[in-house]
Chains A and B, each alone.
Chain A
Amino acid sequence: MVKPDEYQMGFSSRKAIYIPFPQAVPCSYILNMADCLGNNPIACGKCVEVCEKQAINYDDKDEIVTREVGAVIVAIGLQVYDPTEMDEYGYTRFDNVITSMEFERLICAGGPTAGHFVRPSDHERPTRIGFIQCVGSRNSKIGRPWCSNICCMNTIKDTLLLADHYPDVENVVFYQDIRAFGKSFEEMFQRSKEAGTRYVRGLPGDIEEDPETHNLTITVENTTSGKIERHELDMVVLSVGVESPKDLAKISGMLTLSKTSDGFFMESHPKLKPVDAPTRGVFFSGFCEAPKDIKDSVCQAGAAASRTGALLNAGQIQIEAITSRIDEQACKNCGACAKVCPYGAIAWEKGHPAVVIEAACAGCGSCGATCQFGAITMRHFTDDQLLAQVRAVLASHPEDKVFAFACNWCSYAGGDMAGISRIQYPSTNRVVRTMCSARVSEEMVLEAFRCGAPIVMVSGCHYADCHYINANRQTVQRVQRLWDKLEKAGVRPERLQLEWISAAEGQKFAKVMKQLEELRKTVTSKEIQQTKEALKPKPKKAARKEEAAAVAN
């Protein structure tokens, strides 16, 4: 039985019984039953006969082990970009176009050629090698705008390896930017240039192959000189980027983790809590959080271990005071709250009242705003407290006020920033603070209009900054429903505004307030009266029916 060796990138073969790679821990053989030809329909048993230690067990299977743990470190690594879709580089058409991972195997002393670097087409040693950077990185056209972080230094290391092993080899690196910002990295880059590697600023459009010699020709615009250059090379190495592993979505679902737009896990805070997941007790290490090199991965792993140790050794955990509480009597067992909880902190079974897992609840209030039956009380931010604030703010001269709900972490702080930065904006705004914009229920917005507010704004964190994983996506859906509802009731929907304002965006807060003040001036007293009439509360049953229909749509 002979199969391509996955570890050697298919450049050599393995059998059905093999050591996965030389540094495997434990360094012992595995039997891959899927590859075993003697296993048809039953095992031939030859390997059992010759194994003196009787280490072969055909019935051994993968098993799911259940463990109770106090913390989880997610370190699921990365996967390398497959350049097949970038056909212009001919990865699938030309033998001598290889990826940087394949290069690693070919130059490695433990590799398929025992470190003798040869090109795949004729097994001859190449003397002119090109490296193309940013293959699958920093390319919005293929939906991969992120920098993979490691490829520049990996290529520089490869050029130094080649210069060291084969001084006659000519290396050309085609790049858009060289990012050598780590300790001693710039010096390494300079050494590579001194060793004779030529760096051409510009990425090739395509690669052509000479069918006889299998040499490759690259045409590229050198953006430094402004000239078109042609390079004939023996071999081209595609410096491929990295991406989040396939299993990331599965792990994300299991641990209620969210992803950033580039597909990696989102940390609790990019600056202050870079190893913590938004779900408490979960920490990140390595690539799954963002592309990073070995040094940064080791640092993050150490930090994650420390954070875990601190959590487990404390003997007690501090839980959020602002959490939800469900009134079992009022709960109608619909499960809507469990569906919107970003933390999976609400346990619900069909036919049973929902229960809040207080240690997991972070207090965004999304559940409280979603519950149509008043069964959820958000401690310190109850419906009654917030509605009382709305009524108090709009008790006198509501027509002169711009009413805003602002989230505690970003928008409210953005308003503070505008204030401490002495940025001028109209004094007509009145802000009510909630922990998250998702806490603002439809009823609160409608009540503000009923109290005579000409303009209502709901504001929260930017998508990437949401302090409650992704609770503010509930805000978007709720505001969309409200726009429909207002329009249906004959109220101008633009009187309800939605803005994402970060704590640093004092300027934006002021700009939005100025715009809202202009909008407020267009709302007449008559319009406010009509709105009050149109939004008069309906009998409870009918209103609930309407809400349920809106949610279902």
Chain B
Amino acid sequence: MSTTTIETFRCMMCGHEYTEEVEKGEDKERSCPKCRSNSIRHLKKKKPAKEG
């Protein structure tokens, strides 16, 4: 079973949005690939709306 997922992040300093492969339980300091800021917000995947 794969332990990596593709996650979306947004830099709260410059607004740059990007995706990155994330390993389950990884302990990694994040910085924006564009401006190097550490204000990186992990954008959670929205759960699909229930039908009906």
Contact = CB atoms under 8 A, between A and B. Distances in A.
Interface of A: 259, 261, 462-464, 470, 473, 480, 483, 493-494, 496-500, 512, 515, 519
Nearest to A494: B12
A493 B11 CA distance: 11
A463 B15 CA distance: 23
B20 interface: no
A463 B30 CA distance: 9
A493 B41 contact: yes
Given A494-B13, A497-B13, A515-B13, A473 B27 contact: yes
Contact of B41 (A259, A463, A483): A483
What band does the interface of chain B fall in when counting residues whose beta carbon is under 8 Å from A? 10 to 19
Interface string B9-42: 0001101000000000001110000000111111
B13 A463 contact: no
B12 A261 contact: no
Nearest to B41: A483
Most buried by B among A464, A473, A498, A500: A498
14 contacts: A261-B27, A463-B27, A470-B27, A483-B41, A493-B12, A494-B13, A494-B39, A496-B12, A497-B13, A497-B39, A498-B38, A499-B37, A499-B38, A519-B13
A512 B36 CA distance: 10
Contacts of B37: 497, 499, 512, 515
Most buried by A among B13, B29, B38, B42: B38
Contacts of B40: 498
B18 to A, nearest CB: 16
A500 B41 contact: no
Given A261-B27, A261-B28, A463-B29, A483 B38 contact: no
Contacts of A483: 12, 41
Contacts of A500: 29, 38
A498 B39 contact: yes
Contacts of A499: 37-39
Contacts of B41: 480, 483, 493
Q: Which 5 A-B pairs have CB atoms at the shortest separation, nearest pair first? A: A463-B29, A494-B12, A497-B39, A498-B39, A500-B38
Nearest to A518: B13
Given A261-B27, A480-B41, 11 more contacts: A261-B28, A464-B29, A483-B41, A494-B12, A494-B13, A497-B12, A497-B37, A498-B39, A500-B29, A512-B37, A515-B37
Contacts of B42: 480
Contacts of A496: 12
Contact of A462 (B12, B15, B29, B39): B29
Contacts of B29: 462-464, 500
Nearest to B35: A515
Nearest to B44: A484
A473 B27 CA distance: 8
A462 B29 CA distance: 7
Nearest to A499: B38
Nearest to A464: B29
Contacts of B28: 261, 463
